[in-house]
Structure 1
Amino acid sequence: MNRSRYLINYSMVRLSLAPVMLWLISTFVFLLLRIAPGDPVDAILGNRADDNAREIMREKLGLNMPLINQYFHFLNRLIHGDLGESLNTQEPVREIIAKTLPASIELGVIALIIAALIGISVGFTGVANPEGKTDLVGRLFGIGTYALPPFWAAMLIQLLFAVILGWLPVGGRFPPQLSPPQGSGFFIFDSIRLGDISSLNASIRHLILPSSTLGILLSGIFSRSLRVNLDKTLKTNYIEAAKSRGIKDNQILFAHALPNALLPVLTIAGLTIASLIGGALLIEVTFSWPGIALSLQEAISQRDYPIVQGIIVVISTLVVVINLTIDLIIAFIDPRVKY
């Protein structure tokens, strides 16, 4: 069987497994919310509401139905692209996600770029100067940023750059006294599209601290991965053969070793998406960033089942699609991948 057939089979298997994965995640979230302590009726009416009012509210919300009926009702709506309505505000979950997801994507993309630039630079510098002070600092940086609690680092950065130095805003996404740019919900893109320099400046100023904090915390993953893979690649037989033929060290490093070492880093980038979401939750709460992670935290505290389910389904879909895309790209460009 030739490589093209292998690629087709691999792609079909991965594509067929994606819906199964999303169904398992959706089912797990549905069941977990139902067995978790707390009642959404109490969150809406309070603990002092009488039994009659509570029963009417449970019937209105559909919580009086048997669990299996609730599950199939949830799946039916999900298949048709209906994420339901908020139990508290009756606002469609789809609209809530549409308003908050662009903020999280904007934060996540910039943070991922910062993490990759810093991590790859630190990892590459360490390999270029092995066993030296630069390499030691790079290793400590990778371990430290990976182990540092996000909320603690976020508060320290807030305290230094926003409170003490006063260089940047302490939180939020846009100055409250100004009207944000209208359009896609991505403030930087909308500001550039409209040619609004003041909005662009305000958006960037509010984005610097949360994105830099999250990017620095995630950069250790990239630096450690590149450091290990590049060091391993430089010890392989084909690199030794290149050295024996008199090829210059810089050419070996950049033309032969680095491209092969970057492939595992690309895989790490896909896996980092999950860490990005987990870290974004704490970053968004600390910096009052109005993203989807902050909405998820608020919905969990209010026992708002549809919002929690809808947000997790959307986030899971993004993670699965991104990881699937990266896996297919690696399978296409790397002939060493077996299926």
Structure 2
Amino acid sequence: MTVVNDTSPTAPSVGAPSKGKTRGGGLGRYVLIRFLLIFPTVFILVTLVFFLMRVVGNPITASVGGRLTPSQLQERLHAAGYDRPIIVQYGEYLGQLARGDFGTTLTDHQKISTILLTYGGATLELVFYGLIIALIVGVPLGMLAAYLRDRWPDVILRVFAIFTYATPVFFAGLLLQLVFSVWLGILPLGGRASTRVELALGNIPNPTGIYLIDAIRTGNGQIIGDVLLHAVMPATALGLITGGVFLRLVRTNVMGTLGAEYVDAARSRGVNEFRLVGAHALKPALIPIITVMGLQIAMLLGGSVLTETTFGWRGLGFELQQYLSARDFVAVQGIVALLAVIVAVTNFIVDVIAAFIDPRVRY
């Protein structure tokens, strides 16, 4: 019997990588695409805000129209350029954004960039606290719910996740204030720090605007404790919303990994259940959390508006609410545009981190 051995150059070798693909490739292309997507995302959001702000009329008429005579109002409109076609205004606004100019407020004549530098640190600090609370609540409780699947603790935790996600952040904040400040008197009602600590932090050289960092720089334990004590209720009210999302994500993914073959193999070797859940099943389950974290940070930024207003936390959300009340649509438009840039850049960073952790994200 003759054995035919086909060694012709046209026969493809099994398992050989194709010439059109490089091993481990795709990361650079993925990062580039995600970076380029920042620009259309910001463009769409800025465009929507620009035209929605003008549905109710021009910003000057909305903010100060009732306090000016018709001739004075017309002069202000002409000086600001709001009597020109809206397409012309839109083109000029995009040109300002391209130069990094987000505009000047009508009520107090502040640059929007100055507002970001002044109050952005407070919002960043609150979002950081809220994210920590969300991880503390979502990850351990999600692991517990997955391990006790379909038992009564799992049912309670699932109801808790739905309840926290569906509860408005301002309502959760008011409940926390009622219980822990009014009834129990163990937590401050609002603000970022007590008056004494505010003055002390204002006197340090080159303050960052992030009270926890500035408090650590003082080296005073009482100041650090006061700052953290004021952050407990705002962070909890804000973090519980995302904590419910993380809880359900961790539960679903841990249940999936607990049924995997490598977990069964580890269980057959005598690995205890705590280690199975904490080491073998948790790590793969955290990948989806990192993937969606960018969206959750956007949710935290949105929730910070009501949280800061409820607790008197002087950040971008608090200022945004003040400008909305004053009908200063230029300020609202500029702050929302800034937040859109922050969200888009944050999503890009999270996507890149997720691509490094899980290669499947790149394809």
Q: CA–CA distance in 2 between the matches of 1:6 and 1:225?
A: 27
> Would the alpha carbon gap of residues 188 and 247 (structure 1) be closer, same or farther in structure 2, given more than 3 Å must change?
closer
Are 1:283 and 2:280 counterparts? Answer: no
> Over the residues paired in the alignment, what is the CA RMSD in angstroms?
2.0
1:252-331 → structure 2 map (5 Å cutoff): 252-331=276-355
Partner of 2:41: 21
Q: How does 1:169-208 map to 2 (within 5 A)?
A: 169-176=188-195, 178-182=198-202, 183-208=207-232
Which of structures 1 and 2 has the bigger CA Rg? 2
| Correspondent of 1:92 among 111, 118, 136 | 111
User: C-alpha separation between the residues in 1 aligned to 2:101 and 2:314?
Assistant: 23
**3-state SS, counterpart of residue 84 of structure 1:** coil
Q: For 1:167-246, what aligned pairs fall within 5 Å after superposition?
A: 167-176=186-195, 178-182=198-202, 183-243=207-267
Q: Which residue of 1 aligns with 2:167?
A: 148
Structure 1 residues 299 and 48: alpha-carbon distance in aligned structure 2, compared to 1, 3 A threshold: closer
AA partner of residue 308 (structure 1)? V
Determine if contact 2:58/2:82 at 8 Å carries over to the other structure.
no
Q: CA deviation at 1:83?
A: 1.3
* Offset, 1:292: 0.5
Identity fraction in percent: 36
Compute the TM-score of the two structures, normalised by the length of structure 2.
0.86
Residue aligned with 2:54, SS? helix
Residue 121 (structure 1) aligned with residue 145 (structure 2): no
Offset, 1:43: 4.4
Q: Distance in 2 between matches of 1:309 and 1:180?
A: 34
* Unpaired runs of at least 5, structure 2: 1-20
User: What TM-score results when the alignment is normalised by the length of structure 1?
Assistant: 0.92
Distance in 1, Cα, partners of 2:273 & 2:219? 47
Task: Name the counterpart of 2:127.
Answer: 108
CA distance in 1, matches of 2:63, 2:161: 45
Contact 1:180 1:187 in 2 (8 A): no
- Greater CA drift, 188-197 or 155-164: 188-197
CA distance in 2, matches of 1:92, 1:335: 43
The 1:184–1:250 alpha-carbon spacing in structure 2 relative to 1, beyond 3 Å, is: same
- Between the aligned partners of 2:144 and 2:213, the Cα distance in structure 1 is 33
Give the deviation of 1:48 after TM superposition. 5.2
- Give aligned pairs, total: 338
User: How far is the alpha carbon of 1:231 from its aligned partner?
Assistant: 0.6
1:30 to 41, 50, 65: 50
Amino acid at match of 1:207: A
Separation in 1, partners of 2:293, 2:300: 10
Q: Which segment is superposed worse, 111-120 or 48-57?
A: 48-57
Task: Quickly say closer, same or farther: Cα 1:46–1:134, change in 2 above 3 A.
Answer: same
On the 8 A contact 1:40/1:302 being kept in 2, the answer is: no
TM-aligned CA deviation for residue 34 of structure 1: 1.2
Confirm or deny that 1:162 pairs with 2:186. Answer: no
- 68, 71, 83: which is aligned to 2:87? 68
CA-CA distance at 1:172 after TM superposition: 1.7
Deviation at 1:260, TM superposition (A): 0.7
The residue number in structure 2 matching 1:45 is 64
